[in-house]
Amino acid sequence: MARTSSLVPSRAMLAHPGRYHNKEKRKPLLKFTKRGNLELMTPASRSLKFVRTFLNLSLILLALSMSGAVWAKGRPKASARPSARAARGGRSSARESRGRNAREERTARGRDNRRLSAREQRAARREERNSRRETARERRNDARRDTRHMSRRERLLESRRQAAERRREIEEARRRAELARLAAIARQRAADQALRDEAHANIANDSTVGEDMDVRRAAVEALGDHAGTVVVMNPSSGRVYTVVNQEWAIRKGFKPCSTIKLITGVAGLCDRVIDPQQTINVSDGNANIDLTDSLAYSNNGYFQSVGGRVGFEHMMQTARELGLGERTGINYANEYQGRLPVFKTGYAVNHMCSHGDDIEVTPIQLASLVSAIANGGDLLVPHLPRTPEEDIQFHKQTRRKVKVSEDILRRMVPGMIGAVNYGTARLAYDPRQTIAGKTGTCIGQGSWLGLFTSFAPVSNPQLAVVVITRGSGERGRVAAGIAGKIYRALSGRFGTPANMPIANAPVPVPHPRISGRAAAAISDEEQGDEEDTNGDAATTSTTTTTGATTGATTGAQATPRNQGGTVQRVLMPVQSRPNQTPASPQRSTVIPAPTTQPESRPRRVQP
């Protein structure tokens, strides 16, 4: 067989091309083309074929990557995977919401940047940089303008501008304050009018069968346009003369306010915690005050100190003994029994003993209480004879004899007389008879309360008058003024007989032991009354007679108050907590009489 050229295939090679291979790489030397021709494979042709194949594959991969990027850019962003709380059906927290919003904002900003070309991105950065520079330049100019020296004209204009701005701000603040004040006054007047309407409606529905019409007429005229109730009864027999606004007097409870100090005083005397002749420091200064002046000026600190030493249990025992927390037995339907707290401790006991916190009493209960003090300890059953037969057969009914000595009850009377003669109940003063009473002023049942419980004449008690009023302008002295009108109107019928000398009265008329300035400084109730003095009615004038010189000697005439047209305050102040002795279970401790200069405050005694 002849040797063939490597470039020209032989006849044998053409006949059997698959048998001839390259001995080194074991690859065929011949290859059929697409047209069916046999082509000789050289090393150069094989390398060119490999390069061509590699380029084709590279172009295909590049095209696929570019198409994928374009498709991903145009596709909307998939929602984030819900949180575990959202999967449970709950709402995402505020922190998760803020984080998700921040991520979406950053993603949107990055998407916007990717959409912009490189030139647009550079322009945006340049614009942002220029804006920051402009802001900094304006700040420097403002600072330079503020610090540079202004001319006289510029200073004048600037001062005028600032003064005008201040005037506008002040006028706007005044306008807003005036609008708020007028709105508060309108609301308070509406509330007061609602109370008056309710009281007048109740009075119109009262059953007057069996009442003493002369006494009722005097009580209704004295009450006037005030929203309140009046109870008038005989403290010696329990006979009820009239009950004005029977719904409030019998079926509604009120906070006793400072009238609870009568219970506190009796409890302190029973436990020998206080002595009526003893003084105790109750103020920030060096003023000393005894039991008589404490009742007359209604001093809170004194009775808080006494109540803290008496203790809660004995206070409640004394209150129940004097008729609180139970029905009086009056022959009216649906009598309310009142309410006493179940438990108190610490300073709450002190405050309860001066303000009557969490205690509710009815006016008929207060009338029964003051009647027991007047008659020496008989807790009577109030009764109204409704028929002539009942009137003829009427007799005194005593529920029980209180377990308090008559001497202790008598020691409370001088302070009650002092309240009328020179203390908080001066408007009830009547020069023709001696009146003993106790005022009360506080916020309860949603409004201001004014209470006054009293009896007269002290030498021979014939009337027990209890007045309770409600409203923004009502105080204890207002209730005392109403009771004073009743006493003066009925003095000819129930007053002190002309042939009974006042010197024979069992209780001497007390006189104040401290000055008026010191009394005003230590009288919390008087301070609250003085703040609302403007706009109140003047004191009612008393009927003068030839023998009415006793009032001048006692100096009990009340100073007329301003009758101006100013609007009263409608905001209810919150009383601050004084530093007083907390409640203690000890009962037999006697307050030591001060032998040296007393301290500025009573110290707390831990139980």
Least confident of 48-57, 208-217, 382-391, 433-442: 48-57
pLDDT tier, 101 (very low <50, low <70, confident <90, very high otherwise): low
Alpha-carbon distance of 589 to 215, in angstroms, equals: 46
Q: How many CB atoms lie within 10 A of CB 425?
A: 31
pLDDT tier, 341 (very low <50, low <70, confident <90, very high otherwise): very high
Buried b (16+ CB within 10 A) or exposed e, 460-495: bbbbbbbbbbbbbbbbbbbbbbbbbbbbbbbbeebb
In sequence order, what are the residues at sequence separation of 6 or more whose Cβ sits closer than 8 angstroms to the Cβ of residue 181?
none
Show which of 497, 522, 553 is a domain's final residue. Answer: 497
Give me 546's structure tokens.
């030839």
Q: Quick: pLDDT tens for 163-180.
A: 999 999 999 999 999 999
Q: Taking a C-beta distance cutoff of 8 angstroms, is the pair 496, 459 a contact?
A: yes
pLDDT of residue 530: 42
- Site of tokens 């063939």: 4
Alpha-carbon distance of 261 to 440, in angstroms, equals: 9
pLDDT of residue 144: 64
Give me 246's structure tokens.
């029977």
* CATH code where residue 254 lies: 3.40.710.10
pLDDT of residue 215: 96
Alpha-carbon distance of 309 to 582, in angstroms, equals: 7
Q: Quick: pLDDT tens for 180-216.
A: 999 999 999 999 999 999 999 999 999 999 999 999 9
pLDDT of residue 70: 64
Mean pLDDT of 320-343: 94
**Between 308 and 527, where is the model more confident?**
308
Asked if the structure places residue 90 within a domain, the reply is no
Distances (CA, A) of 281 to 203, 349, 473, 594, 603: 45, 20, 32, 9, 11
Q: Do both 227 and 339 map to the same domain?
A: yes
pLDDT of residue 410: 92
pLDDT tier, 57 (very low <50, low <70, confident <90, very high otherwise): confident
Give me 194's structure tokens.
């609602």
pLDDT of residue 456: 94
Q: How many CB atoms lie within 10 A of CB 456?
A: 31
Q: What domain range is 39 assigned to?
A: 21-52
Helices (H) and strands (E) in the chain, counts: 21, 11
Mean pLDDT of 151-173: 90
pLDDT of residue 383: 95
Q: Do both 361 and 453 map to the same domain?
A: yes
Q: Do both 453 and 321 map to the same domain?
A: yes
Asked if the structure places residue 217 within a domain, the reply is yes
Q: Is the dihedral of CA 450, 455, 457, 463 positive or negative?
A: positive
Q: Do both 136 and 267 map to the same domain?
A: no
Asked if the structure places residue 309 within a domain, the reply is yes
Q: Quick: pLDDT tens for 133-143.
A: 888 888 877 76
Give me 64's structure tokens.
């696929």
Q: Do both 233 and 382 map to the same domain?
A: yes
Distances (CA, A) of 307 to 300, 304, 328, 354, 419: 10, 5, 26, 8, 20
pLDDT tier, 561 (very low <50, low <70, confident <90, very high otherwise): very low
- Percentage of the chain with pLDDT > 70? 63
pLDDT of residue 142: 74
Asked if the structure places residue 331 within a domain, the reply is yes
Q: At residue 112, does pLDDT exceed 70?
A: no
pLDDT tier, 75 (very low <50, low <70, confident <90, very high otherwise): low
Q: At residue 497, does pLDDT exceed 90?
A: no
Least confident of 51-60, 123-132, 161-170, 490-499: 490-499
Q: Does 457 sit behind a cis peptide bond, omega within 30 degrees of 0 on the bond before it? A: yes
Question: Can you tell me whether residue 481 is helix, strand or coil?
Answer: helix
Alpha-carbon distance of 254 to 249, in angstroms, equals: 9
Q: Taking a C-beta distance cutoff of 8 angstroms, is the pair 222, 323 a contact?
A: no
pLDDT of residue 153: 87
Least confident of 74-83, 130-139, 398-407: 74-83
Range among 60-74, 272-286, 401-415, 522-536 rated most confident: 401-415
pLDDT of residue 360: 96
Q: At residue 548, does pLDDT exceed 50?
A: no
Using alpha carbons, select from 439, 245, 441, 434 the residue that is nearest to residue 332: 245
pLDDT of residue 135: 87
Distances (CA, A) of 144 to 140, 152, 158: 6, 18, 16
Q: At residue 6, does pLDDT exceed 60?
A: no
Mean pLDDT of 100-126: 70
- Site of tokens 């306008």: 175
pLDDT of residue 534: 39
Alpha-carbon distance of 359 to 32, in angstroms, equals: 120
Q: At residue 315, does pLDDT exceed 80?
A: yes
Mean pLDDT of 504-512: 59
Q: Do both 306 and 449 map to the same domain?
A: yes
Give me 140's structure tokens.
């420097």
Q: Taking a C-beta distance cutoff of 8 angstroms, is the pair 584, 274 a contact?
A: no
Assessment of whether the complete model's pTM goes beyond 0.75: no
In sequence order, what are the residues at sequence separation of 6 or more whose Cβ sits closer than 8 angstroms to the Cβ of residue 553?
none
pLDDT of residue 515: 66
Q: How do strand 227-233 and strand 240-244 relate by DSSP bridges?
A: antiparallel
Q: Do both 127 and 46 map to the same domain?
A: no
Q: At residue 351, does pLDDT exceed 80?
A: yes
Q: Do both 236 and 326 map to the same domain?
A: yes
Least confident of 57-61, 469-473, 584-588: 584-588
Range among 94-108, 231-245, 514-528 rated most confident: 231-245
Q: Is the dihedral of CA 213, 215, 216, 221 positive or negative?
A: positive
Q: Quick: pLDDT tens for 261-308.
A: 999 999 999 998 987 666 666 554 556 788 998 999 999 989 999 999
Q: Taking a C-beta distance cutoff of 8 angstroms, is the pair 363, 466 a contact?
A: yes
pLDDT tier, 148 (very low <50, low <70, confident <90, very high otherwise): low
Containing 392, the helix (H) or strand (E) segment is helix 388-392
Q: Quick: pLDDT tens for 362-398.
A: 999 999 999 999 999 999 999 999 999 998 999 999 9
Q: Do both 306 and 238 map to the same domain?
A: yes
pLDDT of residue 347: 93
Asked if the structure places residue 293 within a domain, the reply is yes
**Between 507 and 418, where is the model more confident?**
418
The radius of gyration of the chain from alpha carbons, rounded to an integer in Å, stands at 49
Alpha-carbon distance of 594 to 219, in angstroms, equals: 46
Q: How many CB atoms lie within 10 A of CB 297?
A: 28
Show which of 497, 525, 558 is a domain's final residue. Answer: 497
Asked if the structure places residue 95 within a domain, the reply is no
pLDDT of residue 46: 63
Show which of 440, 473, 497 is a domain's final residue. Answer: 497
Asked if the structure places residue 578 within a domain, the reply is no
Domains contained in the chain, number: 3
- Percentage of the chain with pLDDT > 90? 48
Distances (CA, A) of 459 to 291, 456, 463, 503: 21, 8, 12, 10
Asked if the structure places residue 176 within a domain, the reply is no
Q: Do both 493 and 345 map to the same domain?
A: yes
Q: Do both 357 and 448 map to the same domain?
A: yes
Q: Do both 293 and 442 map to the same domain?
A: yes
Distances (CA, A) of 181 to 171, 186, 312: 15, 8, 42
Question: Can you tell me whether residue 407 is helix, strand or coil?
Answer: helix
pLDDT of residue 329: 94
Question: Can you tell me whether residue 358 is helix, strand or coil?
Answer: coil
